[in-house]
Amino acid sequence: MAVTYTAPFIQNLKLAVSTITAVQADKTGATTANLVKLLDAGANGSKIVEIGFKAWGNTSAAQVTIFKYDGANYFFIDELEVTAIVSSVTVKSNKNLATYIDLGLVTGESIYMGITVFNTNINVYAKYGDY
C-alpha cells in the first residue's frame, strides 16, 4: 500500500498581543533588553500569517522591528513603518501590518518586537496558528 501524505494545517487562528514599553534601536540582535516577546511557537511549531501594530493615540515617526529568536540568537527579520500622526476624533490613529505566506516557527522559537523611537501607545499583534 502506498504511503500518503496529509498536508499540515494550522489548527485554530490565534491572536497574540503585547505593548512595546521602551526603545530598542539596535537591529543587529546584540542588544535585546527592551525587546517584547510577542509569542512562542506551539509544541509542533506555528505559522504566522500577520504581524502588525495599532497605536491608540499620537505617534512619532519610527520603525517597529520584528525579531525571530531561536533559543540562542535574535535575528532581525522585518520592520513596520510608524508615521508621525496626531490623532483626534476626526483623524484615525496609526496602524500598519505585514502578511506572511511562509513565516514558520519550530518548537523553541519565538517572535520579539521592538521600536526605534519611543511611542507610549503602541500595541503589537500577531495572527498565527499552531500545528
Q: Is the dihedral of CA 82, 88, 91, 96 positive or negative?
A: positive
For residue 80, what pLDDT band results from cuts at 50, 70 and 90?
very high
Please give the C-alpha separations between residue 97 and each of 31, 49, 76, in angstroms, as whole numbers. 24, 10, 16
What digits encode the pLDDT tens for the residues 13-46? Answer: 999 999 998 898 888 888 888 999 999 999 989 9
Give the predicted TM-score (pTM) of the model.
Answer: 0.89
Domains parsed from the chain with CATH numbers: 13-130 (2.60.120.1390)
User: Which pLDDT value is given to residue 7?
Assistant: 57
Decide: 50 and 110 in contact? Cβ < 8 Å. Answer: no
Pair type for strands 13-19 and 62-69: unpaired
Give the contacts of 21 (CB within 8 A, at least 6 positions apart): 34, 36
> Confidence class of residue 5 from pLDDT cuts 50, 70 and 90?
low
Q: 50 has which bridge partners?
A: 99, 127
pLDDT of residue 4: 57
